[in-house]
Amino acid sequence: MKVIGITGGVGSGKSEVLRILEEQFNCGIIRTDDVARDLCEPGQISYELIVKFFGEDILDEEKKLDRPKLASIVFSDEEKLNVLNQCTHPQVYAWVQNKVAEWKNAGTYSMIAVEAALLEQLKEMGVCESFWYVYVKPEIRRERLRISRNYSDEKMDAIFASQLPEQVFLDGCDVVIDNNSDIESVEKQLEALCKM
């Protein structure tokens, strides 16, 4: 059962690629952002570690993490950001490793896709045999984000500036999925890749 890592910038169409893989190719999907969010819920491991370090001041009235407050604390403090990452990343990696092992043992899927915005995180997990980059030209990504999420130019500028250069993904991935045209084109590429 092949395990692939899927990455790409915001607005590149990773969600569409995952949907097609899930619906048409019996692929088990793991979205690391969702895993991280779940592990930060009350009673979960990352939540406990974060509260232990940052204190209960970062909780809202429902005793959940106050994400904007936490973000403002770590935003300009690299040391605290590193601590926050240590409270979350290793736990996400362990969860993904366990889930991949569980699915492989059960033989439920024909393949598994692990999605993350950062290629480096996918590689650190140590479960992926292949890395796929969903590529879209910046101007097309902008247009799609404007339509689908109603993002302003300023917001998109900030997002694009905070992301790694495209070359990092192109150099670090062994497959590039071209998502510059239509969904049929993506489906054909995925069909060819899933037959390999």
0.75 exceeded by the pTM? yes
In 3D, which of 39, 33, 40, 38 has the Cα closest to residue 15?
A: 33
In 3D, which of 59, 128, 68 has the Cα closest to residue 96?
A: 128
Cα–Cα distance, 108 to 185 (Å, whole number): 28
Cα–Cα distance, 24 to 129 (Å, whole number): 21
Which pLDDT tens digits describe the chain residue by residue (196 residues)? 899 999 998 888 899 999 999 999 999 999 999 999 999 999 999 999 999 999 999 999 999 999 999 999 988 888 999 999 999 999 999 999 999 999 999 998 999 999 998 889 899 999 999 999 999 998 888 888 888 888 888 888 888 887 878 888 989 999 999 999 888 999 999 999 988 7
Count the domains in the chain.
1
Q: For residue 11, give the DSSP letter.
A: T
pLDDT of residue 53: 95
Cα–Cα distance, 169 to 164 (Å, whole number): 8
Kindly state the tokens that stand for 125.
């997990």
In 3D, which of 126, 128, 123 has the Cα closest to residue 168?
A: 123
Q: Which domain holds residue 19?
A: 2-195
Q: Three-state DSSP class for 88?
A: helix
User: Domain with 180 in it: what CATH number?
Assistant: 3.40.50.300
Amino acid at 171: D
Instruction: Starting at the earlier edge strand, list the strands of the sheet with 130-135.
Output: 27-31, 111-115, 2-7, 130-135, 175-178
Q: CA quadruple 112, 134, 31, 89: dihedral positive or negative? A: positive
In 3D, which of 185, 129, 134 has the Cα closest to residue 8?
A: 134
